[in-house]
Every structure is written in structure tokens, then in C-alpha cells.
Amino acid sequence: MTPEQKGIGSVSTTVRRWESALVGHHRTPADDVVRVSAWAPDDSASYCPRCGGGLDWSIQTCACSGRTLATRHGTLVRLSSYQEPVSEWIRMMKYQSWVSMAKVLGELLGKSILQCSAFEHEETPWLVPVPMPWSRRFVRGMDHAALLCKGVAKTTGFQVFQPLKQINGRIQSGATVSQRSRKRDPFRVSLNGRMLKKRLKHRRVIVIDDVRTTGRTIGLVARALEGCGAVVIGAGVLAVADMRESATKGVRSKLITGRDSPQRERNGENLPSNGIVSNSRRQLEMDVKPSGMNGRVAMGKKSGDRE
């Protein structure tokens, strides 16, 4: 190790100590958390290669349709369904800037991609992370999709390339399925993509993201890349939110309580309400009291009844 490397290492160690002293806690290394949890990535035979939804063990088929916008990305590789402990890791990675967890999960996703036979080809594919708006990246302090992509590249040896940008728009966390389907296309070709468009032509690419819910985001990215001349052969995500299971929970909750299930049950990508995120969305139920003319009419009826 050179003196310069020793100096950099000592500086980074000092910075981490200052951060720990200011924040007041020391976070456990991500690789230790994953190892202690005894969690393992899903086998590719346990989910649909198009939408990533779980397969029934007795049927081994999926009801997803053929090539649509939601399945435009081609073969999909996932680590898990959106459930504990992976869902907890993803939320902390995104909203508490757990950078080391992004790298660890990215490396695990890279191993799953290498094991997928659909990606075996003479030409090495490129990795394209779903772009994040600069304002959101500034607020969160990190670009989790880009960090995941670096972890995948470290394992696979594939090149990372970003020819797209995302304009500011509504945050998808907390949005229902219908709201997601009505969201406008926020992806555009960046200046870097225009300058290197010739290199992207006929290039096989894999889209990388953290969670797939309806598939619209990855589908829009795939469409934008195809507009640049690329060939999207697949996508890699950490988790897939099973919308069928969420819908079943919502119906079951409505039958029992007579009310719709909370928003966080209908969408696996919503922010949690257990304090992990400081600005988490909570669904508050308020009793609507009569006001104005309606209130006076109601009071008049009551007084007339008493007479």
C-alpha cells in the first residue's frame, strides 16, 4: 500500500468516526446483516421470467400477457418478492442512504444475472440504471439505482452506461396502480446519450432498478433505449411487488372491516409507517362533521323532532 493510499484510508476512517459521533450510532455492515438473516435469493424457476411474479407451485404458469409495455424489457431477474427482510433493506437503502447495502444487493443481483441463461451471448451486454431526477438525488443524497448498477457491474464485469435522464415528476412511492398507469413518460435522451448514440445502436442492454411494481417504469426506460437503437434483452431488480397478493389482501381486509385496506397494503413500494422514513405517508381517518347550510338543516330537523 502506497503512502497516498494509507493517507486516503486514514482520512475516510476519520470521516466515518465523525459521522458516527454526530449521528450517534454505528450501522452494522450490510454484508453482515445479509449473512446473519439467513436469507437467500429466489430461484429463477419460482417466478415468471416476464413479469417477475411468483408462480403457483401446482400450475407453474403466469397470467401476464405477452409483449406489452410492462413486459417490454424482456427477461426479468429478481432477488426476491417485496417482503421482509428485503423490503426493509430496500427502504433503508433508499430513504436512509444505506450505500453499503446497495452495493451488497447489487453484487448479489449480478450473480443472479450471470446464472440466467437468457443473457448468455457472445456480445457482452451493457447495464443501464433507471435514471433519477437531480432534485430527488440531491434530497436523498444518493442515486440508489446507479449504486445497484455498480454492484452488478462489479460481479458481472459488464459496462455501465447512462444515455437517459428523468425529468422531475410525481414520486411513485404512494401512488396507486391507476395513478402509475396515468403517469406521463418522464424519460428523455440525455446529452451524453445523443453524443454516443452510435455506440448504443444495436447494443444489447439490461435495465437495472430496485423494485418492479407494475412494470411501467422499466417499460418506459426500455422504450426510450429502443428509440436510441439499443436492444433491451432484460431487466434486473431487487424485488417484485406482487400486485395479485396485494389485491387479495385488500379484498380480504374490506370483507372483514368493511373498509378499504390502507394504502401501504396495496402497494409494496409505498413508504412505511413504522418510523423508518421521517416523511412517511400515513392514512388518517377523520370524522366529517356537518358544516354550513347542511349543519343548520340537520339541526333544524333535530329541533323539529323534539317538538
With respect to residue 265, please indicate whether it lies within any of the assigned structural domains: no
With respect to residue 6, please indicate whether it lies within any of the assigned structural domains: yes
With respect to residue 287, please indicate whether it lies within any of the assigned structural domains: no
What CA–CA distance (Å, rounded) separates 102 from 149? 9
What CA–CA distance (Å, rounded) separates 138 from 161? 21
What CA–CA distance (Å, rounded) separates 188 from 8? 38
Query: Please, what is the average pLDDT of the chain?
Result: 76
pLDDT(219) > 50: yes
Which of 246, 265, 298 is where one domain is finished?
246
Say if residue 116 is in the same domain as residue 159.
Answer: yes
pLDDT tens per residue across span 269-292: 433 333 333 333 333 233 334 444
Say if residue 122 is in the same domain as residue 218.
Answer: yes
pLDDT(242) > 90: no
**Beta-carbon contacts of residue 105 (< 8 Å; ≥ 6 apart):** 30, 34, 79, 89, 90, 93, 148, 151, 238
**Beta-carbon contacts of residue 20 (< 8 Å; ≥ 6 apart):** 26
Three-class SS state of 5: helix
Instruction: Compute the CA torsion angle 96, 97, 98, 101 (nearest 10 deg).
Output: 120
CA distances from 273 to 50, 172, 219 (A): 31, 16, 29
pTM over 0.85: no
Determine contact, residues 180/214, Cβ cutoff 8 Å.
Answer: yes
CB count in 10 Å sphere of residue 300: 10
Say if residue 21 is in the same domain as residue 81.
Answer: no
Say if residue 118 is in the same domain as residue 234.
Answer: yes
Range of the domain at 234: 39-246
CB count in 10 Å sphere of residue 251: 11
Say if residue 148 is in the same domain as residue 207.
Answer: yes
Say if residue 45 is in the same domain as residue 104.
Answer: yes
Say if residue 90 is in the same domain as residue 178.
Answer: yes
pLDDT tens per residue across span 156-212: 999 999 999 998 766 665 566 566 666 678 899 999 899 988 889 999 999 999 999
With respect to residue 298, please indicate whether it lies within any of the assigned structural domains: no
pLDDT tens per residue across span 140-155: 888 999 999 999 999 9
Helix boundaries (H) for 158-215: 177-181, 191-195, 197-200
Say if residue 93 is in the same domain as residue 9.
Answer: no
Say if residue 133 is in the same domain as residue 234.
Answer: yes
pLDDT on residue 248: 43
Determine contact, residues 306/120, Cβ cutoff 8 Å.
Answer: no
Say if residue 10 is in the same domain as residue 68.
Answer: no
The residues that bridge with 283 in the sheet, in sequence order, are none
Say if residue 4 is in the same domain as residue 65.
Answer: no
With respect to residue 12, please indicate whether it lies within any of the assigned structural domains: yes
Which of 209, 230, 246 is where one domain is finished?
246
Q: What average pLDDT does the segment 41-46 reach?
A: 93
pLDDT tens per residue across span 56-110: 655 566 767 667 888 888 899 999 999 999 999 999 999 988 999 999 999 999 9
What CA–CA distance (Å, rounded) separates 72 from 205? 13
As given in the structure block, the three cell numbers for residue 258 are 368493511
236: amino acid identity, one letter: G
With respect to residue 96, please indicate whether it lies within any of the assigned structural domains: yes
Say if residue 43 is in the same domain as residue 175.
Answer: yes
Q: What is the CATH number of the domain that holds 220?
A: 3.40.50
Residue 186 preceded by cis peptide, ω within 30: no
Range of weakest confidence among 134-143, 175-184, 231-240: 175-184
